[in-house]
Structure 1
Amino acid sequence: MHGSVAHSDRRESAIVTGAAGALGRATALRLGHDGFAVGILDLPGDELSETASQLASAGIAHHVLEVDLRDTDAIAAALRDADEAIGPLAALVNNAAIYPSRAFLDIPIDEYDDVVAVNQRAYFAAAQTAARLMAPHKRGAIVNVGSITWHGGWSNLASYISTKGAAVALTRALSRELGTHGIRVNAVAPGAFPTKAESIQGDQQEYSRFVIEHQALKRRGNPAEFAAVVSFLVGDDSSFVTGQTINIDGGWVME
């Protein structure tokens, strides 16, 4: 793990995993504008550096955490490091995910294990460390990022979809158990936002038409709109909301 700190003033902090991607970056920026010091956690690389650069340009206190999410010890160390470096941890957004596309009959177990490690086990490990840091303060919020795919299933994504269903189940279990510590746990289920994840879909224009056809709102979503819902769920305006899953999908899935 490698970390760096910029503009720390010991305010409350929020950690966003998968902060190198479009949804994670938008969330980090939004939470920073909300007043959190932001820990951005992801694999090292140009995309994580770009997130840090945008936070710096916006004058947002941040902490760069270069972590392989398959390493649960590194996750725990990173969250404790951020809590010490930039302020008491008040919010965790479990957003990171990998999404190999392959027919179910052809999925190697090693590939499935990697998906579970990043999309499911890392969520559990990060939430556990976060809750241990939050519990003494009797407050905190955790948001687990699921996906609308778990509602109906998509072809060639069985590993990914199974972990996204697990994110919702974990949310419900933790909300019940951590409520006594004043910690709220919710989930969001994004639809098809235009991110690099769409590279697995082939013809991008045709896929965009498919998405809009199924949505009630006839336009593509913006990552900032995803981040706004996460902001609500970690903020004071949702102080009596826990155990819920909010679909952010332009009205694709309604339940």
Structure 2
Amino acid sequence: MTLTNRYPSLANKVVFITGGGSGIGATLVAAFVAQGAKVAFVDILQQESQALVQQLMQQYPQGKVHFYPCDITDIPALQAVIADVEVALGPVTVLLNNAASDTRHDFQDVTPEYWDQRLNVNLRHQFFAIQAVFAQMKAAGGGSIINFGSMSWYESQGGMPGYTTSKAAVLGLTRGLARDLGPYQIRVNTLTPGWVMTERQLSQWVTPETAKDIEKNQCLKQQLLPEDIAAMALFLASDDSKLCTAQNFIVDGGWI
């Protein structure tokens, strides 16, 4: 990463990240470890997650990073991990609801069961993670919650209605809970990435044609990288953004 800004307020904060084993999530984990935070993350990708922990411990010998295998659609398991993190590291004061799956699907083939599964993996866990960390943040005197959205529904992207519907709903989740949690000095914001060049996107969706489309639509003609998303996440987690809540912060190179 080429991130250079330092946020002293992030040192020793307990940060919980969903979907931290690969892609944007792995960059988020690395970025917060580099800031001196105590980072816990969950993922179903155990091999990749364990390799990430080993890499970061070599890079930051004094760093604190903990991986908990967890399927975020299993709400009791997610709640149990969040409780375990408090015991092991202290109260969570930064939550990044990053986990999601943008697997393409034809709306004509969607069954009620598949629809529920798409909402469970892209939306439901965000609410229940917030519910689970609330008491910890309240006891700590406040916190920052960052819900991850998507620019896909803004630009009327088709081919994955379960994903785009879930991500549109994230904004409602953010704004409503920002009101409910504000009295406890808990901030809730949405971070909306553009088309980020992760390994998954490059291997599955980005073709020469789509790359041209991305360049055409972005005002800034540069590839959007995971570290660009992490840069905004660090700011929103830090005390520097202490009066930012109920907002949607878009990092997409000027597409939408």
- Asked whether the two chains share a fold, i.e. TM above 0.5, the reply is yes
1:152 Cα offset (Å)? 3.0
1:56 Cα offset (Å)? 1.3
- Paired AA for residue 41 in structure 1: V
Structure-2-length-normalised TM-score: 0.90
**Aligned equivalent of 2:28:** 27
CA distance in structure 2 between the partners assigned to 1:240 and 1:55 by the alignment: 31
1:200 Cα offset (Å)? 4.3
- Paired AA for residue 176 in structure 2: A
Which among 191, 194, 209 is matched to residue 191 of structure 1?
A: 194
**Structure 1 stretch 117-126 or stretch 106-115: which is displaced more?**
106-115
- Paired AA for residue 21 in structure 1: S
1:12 Cα offset (Å)? 2.7
SS where residue 193 of structure 1 aligns? Answer: coil
Residue pair 1:186, 1:245 contacting (<8 A) in 2 also: yes
**Aligned equivalent of 1:67:** 70
- Paired AA for residue 37 in structure 1: K
**Aligned equivalent of 1:212:** 215
CA distance in structure 2 between the partners assigned to 1:154 and 1:37 by the alignment: 37
Segments of 5+ residues of structure 1 without an aligned counterpart are: 1-9
1:1-255 equivalent positions in 2, closer than 5 A: 11-59=12-60, 60-195=63-198, 196-201=200-205, 204-253=207-256
Count of residues paired in the alignment: 243
Segments of 5+ residues of structure 2 without an aligned counterpart are: 1-10
After superposition, the Cα gap between the structure-2 partners of 1:176 and 1:129, relative to the gap in structure 1 and judged at 3 Å, is same
CA distance in structure 1 between the partners assigned to 2:18 and 2:195 by the alignment: 19
SS where residue 97 of structure 1 aligns? Answer: coil
1:53 Cα offset (Å)? 2.2
1:14 Cα offset (Å)? 0.2
**Aligned equivalent of 2:8:** none
- Paired AA for residue 90 in structure 1: T
Indicate the percent of aligned positions where both proteins have the same amino acid.
Answer: 31
SS where residue 89 of structure 1 aligns? Answer: coil
CA distance in structure 2 between the partners assigned to 1:208 and 1:53 by the alignment: 33
1:198 Cα offset (Å)? 4.8
1:81 Cα offset (Å)? 0.8
- Paired AA for residue 174 in structure 1: L
After superposition, the Cα gap between the structure-2 partners of 1:155 and 1:18, relative to the gap in structure 1 and judged at 3 Å, is same
CA distance in structure 2 between the partners assigned to 1:198 and 1:169 by the alignment: 30
CA distance in structure 1 between the partners assigned to 2:147 and 2:35 by the alignment: 19
- Cα deviation, 1:146-187, whole Å, max 9, x if unaligned, reads 001121321101100000011111010111110001100001
- For the aligned residue pairs, the C-alpha RMSD in angstroms reads 1.5
Structure-1-length-normalised TM-score: 0.91
SS where residue 152 of structure 1 aligns? Answer: coil
CA distance in structure 1 between the partners assigned to 2:188 and 2:35 by the alignment: 19
CA distance in structure 2 between the partners assigned to 1:21 and 1:114 by the alignment: 21
- Paired AA for residue 177 in structure 2: L
CA distance in structure 2 between the partners assigned to 1:18 and 1:164 by the alignment: 16
SS where residue 99 of structure 1 aligns? Answer: coil
